[in-house]
Amino acid sequence: MKISLIQMNSINDKAANIAAARALIERAVAEESPDWILLPEQFDWAGGVKGDKARNAETLPGGPAYSMAQELAARHRVFIHAGSLMERIEGDERIHNTTVAFDRDGAEIARYRKIHLFDVTTPDGASYRESATVKPGDAVVTYDCEGVTIGCSICYDLRFPALFQALADRGSQVIALPAAFTLQTGKDHWETLLRARAIETQTYLCAAAQTGAYSVNNETRQTYGHSLVADPWGLVVAKASDGPGVVSTRLDMGTVERVRRMIPVAEHKRAL
């Protein structure tokens, strides 16, 4: 199974973000011919001012970001795990931070709404309150990709091992993590957490990230980038360089089976 991770620098311009995502997907298809493509968290929007997220959210199915991913999945006969986009909620000023996955025919095969919301203060003093604009989801979601079970997570979910154990318990061999990790947290925690979740679940952890600067209420913030794939042994087998781009690799489900035979943690798990 060949995969491509898309690394982006999304800003507060939805049309520009969708065009950038389209161009990078087209590049991945032309250069790498992947079976599966992963976009980063909120590839359709970053930053802006109060109310921008709600104004630019989409009613699913449909909307320009959703339709772009669906169209390219069908045209290029490739699975597209569309990172996350802003989903409008009827009767609520908040939105969902939502992953949508499409199969080779462009059919929607999974929808996951981010469960854990980023309400933190980073070491540089910046305050993030995702729950002010986003309503959390409550469902654990996996889907089938031609015999490979893929689990869904988004960004801050990475810090909650119970979700990843639940995905593994549901048969996940690959876990997708679209993200927009901050520079401050990413430089110290990003790779360590990804490798840990891969080791714990004995899955491939595929993480596509936002990189670079964006503006929130005239304040410039930085995302960390460094999209990567960690294998079931916790080794980093692919990693993006700085800036927007594409990183690709092949996933071997035989590696998942071998690691699980060597250290059968699922069999050794005990109720506490």
Convert 229-263 to b/e letters by CB count within 10 Å (16 or more is b): bbbbbbeeebbbeeebbbbbbebeeebbeebbeee
Q: Does domain 2-268 have CATH number 3.60.110.10?
A: yes
pTM of the model: 0.97
Phi, then psi, of 223 in degrees rounded to 5? -105, 160
Q: What is the pLDDT along the chain (272 residues), one digit of tens a residue?
A: 999 999 999 999 999 999 999 999 999 999 999 999 999 999 999 988 888 989 999 999 999 999 999 999 999 999 999 999 999 999 999 999 999 999 999 999 999 999 999 999 998 888 899 999 999 999 999 999 999 999 999 999 999 999 999 999 999 999 999 999 999 999 999 999 999 999 999 999 999 999 999 999 889 999 999 999 999 999 999 999 999 999 999 999 999 999 999 999 999 999 88
What residue spans define the domains of the chain? 2-268
Rounded Cα distance, 233 and 26, in Å? 31
Q: At a CB cut-off of 8 Å and minimum separation 6, what does 24 contact?
A: 6, 8, 244, 245, 246
Q: Residues with catalytic annotation?
A: 41, 114, 155
Q: What is the CA radius of gyration of the chain?
A: 17
